A and B are shown apart, each in its own frame.
Chain A
C-alpha cells in the first residue's frame, strides 16, 4: 500500500508538467515571434538608412545605379527573405516653394512583395523599375520637405512579416521603414 501514493504522486508530477507545458509554450512562443518581429524591424531600419545613404552619396545617376544598389541591400538582409516578402523604393524629392515634389522613383525589380510606396505613388512603372513622369506631391514626414530647388532621397523598405506561431490573429503584418537623406 505504501507504493501506491508514490506512484500516484510521481504520475501527478508528470501530469502537472504536461498541464503546465501548453501554458508555458503559450507564453514562450509569442516571445520568439516578438523577437523575430523586433529583428525584422531592426533590419528594415538598417536597410532604409543604408539605402538612403547610398542614394544620396553614391556615384553615378540614380536610374543607372538603383537596381544594383537594392540588390546589394537585399543581400545584406538575411534572415529576411526580401526577394519573397520584401520591397524597396527610392524616391527623389525636390522642394518647390515649401511643397515636396516627387521627381523620380525606383522600385526594386526583384522584390516579391506587391506593395506601394508611401512617399509617392507611381502610376506607371517602366521596364527599369523607374517612374520619372511628374508624380506630383510627395508625402514626407514633418520636417522632411527640402528647401526650394533642393533635393532629398527617401528610401523605403517594406516587408511582410510572417510569424512562426500565428497564435493570435493579425500578427502577419506589413512592416515599413523610411529614411530621408
Chain B
C-alpha cells in the first residue's frame, strides 16, 4: 500500500515539471515557426530582388551605371518585400551578382536574416539565422518597334515619341537587339537591327524618334513587312530565343503596296502604294513604298486598268501566301475600287502579322484613340478588332484566333495620356516572357 500513497503525492510536482517542459516545447515550436515565416518572406524578397535587378539592368547610359541601377533596384525590391525588423529580425541582401551570357542576363541574389529567439533563449540559443537565394534570368530578345506616323497623329506627336522613348528604356543596349520602323504611305527603317553583334544604340534611336515627322496615310502592311524583315535579317543561328514585334497605330489600314495594273502614264508599271479613303470613293497612287510620304516620280496620279489589283502581294517579289485579289477573310475583287483596296489593306495587315507569328514572332499591338472602337469601313469593322487579330491576343474575335501561333497582347489607349500605361503593360508582357 505504501507505494500507492507515494504515487498520489507526485501529481502536482510532476505537473510542474512537465509544465516547464511544455513551455520549452511550445517555445521551440514558436521560434521555429517564426524562423520558417522569416525564411518564406526572405525567399520571396530575394526572388523579387533578382527580378528587379534583371528588369533595371537596362537603365543608365553605360554598362557600369546599368549594373549600378540593377543593384539599387534589387535593394529596393528586397526592402519592399522584407520590411526591416520583420519578426524582430535583421535582414541583409548581399550585392547581387550579374553575369552576361550570350544575350541573357543572369542575376544571382542571396540574403540572410538573423532573428532573435524568444522562449528558446532559456535553453541558451539567442539568435537564429535563415538563408535564401534565387536566380533570375533575363532572356535574349530581338525586337522591332513599328510606329505609325500618319497625319492623324500630329496633335499627339510628342506624347507618342515620349512613350516610345520611355519604352526603349526597358531594353538593354548591351544584350537586346532593336529595330525602329516608321510607316505612313510607305515604311522606312529608321534604325536597322544589328545583325552581327547584340545590343542597340539607344541615344541614336532616341534621336531618330525625336526627328520623326507625322504625315501620310496608314500602310500598316508595309510597316509589318519591314519589321518582320528586320527581325529576319539576323542570321537564323544568331537570333534571340524571344522575337517580338511591337506595332503602334491610331487607325485602320487604308493603303498597301504592290505592282498594280496601270493604264497610264507609261512607265508607272512599278511597285508602289495605292491608297483609299476609308469611306470614300477615291483611290489614288502611286507613292513610294520605302518612303514615308513621297510619290513615285512621274507617277503621282496614275490611272488604273479595270483589273488593277494583282492576285498576290508582289511589292517584294511574288508572295503566293499573301493574296490580294481573291484574298480572305474579306473578299477582294480585281477592280481598283475603294472597297477592294480597303479590304485588301486589312487582309494584308492581318496576313503579314500572321506570317510573322508563323515565324515564332510575338506580335504586340497598341491602338490609340476612340475612332478605333467605332465600326467603319467597307465591312463595318473596328480598328481595335483588327489590332487584336494582328496580335492574336486572347481577346481577339474568335474568327481570327490562331491558338497554335504565339499569342500577343493588344492594348487600347483611349487618349495620348494612356499611351504610357499601354507601353508599360506591353513592356511588362514582353518581360514576362523573358524570365
Do the two chains belong together in a single complex? yes
A residues within 8 Å of B by Cβ? 2, 5-6, 9-10, 12-13, 16-17, 20, 24, 27-28, 31, 34-35, 38-39, 41-42, 45-46, 48-49, 52-53, 56-64, 92, 94, 96, 101, 103-104, 140-145, 147-153, 179-181
Which of chain B's residues 127-183 have a Cβ closer than 8 Å to chain A?
A: 166-167, 169-170
Interface 9-mer from B43-51, B260-268, B345-353, B368-376? B43-51
Our pick among B55, B79, B423, B427 for the contact of A142 (Cβ within 8 Å) is B79
Alpha-carbon distance between A48 and B43 when the two chains are bound, in angstroms: 12
- B420 contacts across to A, CB distance below 8 A: 94, 96, 149
* Residues B4 and A9 in contact, CB atoms below 8 Å apart: yes
The stretch of B6-14, B198-206, B272-280, B324-332 in contact with A is B6-14
Task: Say yes or no for B121: interface residue by CB 8 A criterion.
Answer: no
Contact B5 A31 (CB under 8 A): no
Instruction: Judge whether B33 and A179 touch: CB under 8 Å.
Output: no
Given A24-B19, A61-B394, 11 additional A-B pairs, CB 8 A = A6-B1, A24-B15, A38-B30, A38-B33, A38-B34, A45-B41, A96-B420, A143-B80, A148-B166, A149-B170, A180-B77
Asked whether B15 lies within 8 Å of A149 as measured between CB atoms, the reply is: no
Q: In the bound complex, how far is the Cα of B8 from the Cα of A135, in angstroms? A: 70
The 6 closest A-B pairs by CB, nearest first: A144-B80, A64-B394, A49-B44, A143-B79, A151-B428, A13-B8
B424 interface hit (Cβ, 8 Å): yes
Residues on A with C-beta less than 8 A from B429 are 61-62
Q: Can you list 23 A-B pairs, Cβ within 8 angstroms, ordered by A?
A: A6-B4, A9-B5, A9-B8, A17-B11, A38-B33, A42-B37, A45-B37, A49-B44, A52-B44, A56-B432, A57-B435, A59-B407, A60-B394, A61-B407, A63-B395, A64-B394, A96-B420, A143-B80, A150-B55, A150-B427, A151-B427, A180-B80, A180-B81
- Contacting pair A150 B425 (CB below 8 A): no
Give the CA-CA distance A148 to B8 in the complex, in Å: 75
B40-A49 in contact (CB<8A): yes
Of the candidates B7, B30, B44, B77, which one forms a contact with A48 in the assembled complex, judged by CB atoms under 8 Å apart? B44
Shortest Cβ distance from residue A112 to the other chain B in the assembled complex, whole angstroms: 24
Q: Interface of chain B, helix or strand or loop or mixed?
A: helix
* A137–chain B nearest beta-carbon distance, Å: 14
Task: Say whether A61 contacts B393, CB under 8 Å.
Answer: yes
Q: Which of chain A's residues have a CB closer than 8 A to the CB of B425?
A: 92, 94, 103-104, 151
8 A Cβ contacts from B70-90 to A: 73, 75-81, 83
**Neighbouring A residues of B77 by C-beta, 8 Å:** 143-144, 152, 180
Give the residue name and chain of the A residue nearest to B393 (CB): A61
**In the bound complex, do residue B7 and residue A13 qualify as a contact, i.e. CB atoms below 8 Å apart?**
yes
- Which residues of the other chain, A, contact B21 by a CB distance below 8 angstroms? none
**Contact indicator B424/A59 (Cβ below 8 Å):** no
B59 — which chain A residues lie within 8 A by C-beta? 147
In the assembled complex, how far is the CB of residue B169 from the closest CB belonging to chain A, in whole angstroms?
6
- Shortest A141–chain B CB gap in Å is 5
The range of chain B's interface size is 35 or more
Of the candidates A12, A28, A41, the one having the most CB atoms from chain B within 10 angstroms of its own CB is A41
Q: Specify which of A9, A62, A94, A144 is in contact with B421 (CB 8 Å cutoff).
A: A94
Q: Min CB distance, A27 to chain B, in Å?
A: 7
Q: B212: CB under 8 A from chain A?
A: no
Q: In the complex, A101 Cα to B435 Cα: how many Å?
A: 23
CA distance A62 to B394 in the complex (A): 10
Provide the bound-state CA to CA distance between A47 and B131, in Å: 20
Question: A12 CA to B407 CA in the complex, in Å?
Answer: 78
A92 to B43, CA, bound (A): 21
Interchain CA distance A104-B418 in the complex, whole Å: 13
Pick the contact of B22: A13, A17, A27, A151 (CB < 8 A).
Answer: A27
Q: A61-B429, A180-B48, A181-B47 are in contact. Are A42 and B36 (CB under 8 A)?
A: yes
CA distance A146 to B15 in the complex (A): 57
B193 within 8 A of A: no
Closest A residue to B4 by CB, please name it.
Answer: A6
> Which residues of chain B in 384-433 are interfacial with respect to chain A, using CB atoms and an 8 Å cutoff?
393-395, 407, 409, 420-421, 423-425, 427-429, 432-433
The CA-CA distance from A92 to B47 in the complex, in Å, is 18
CA distance A152 to B427 in the complex (A): 11
A20 to B16, CA, bound (A): 10
- In angstroms, Cα B21 to Cα A27, docked, is 13
Which residues of A have CB within 8 Å of B407?
A: 59-61
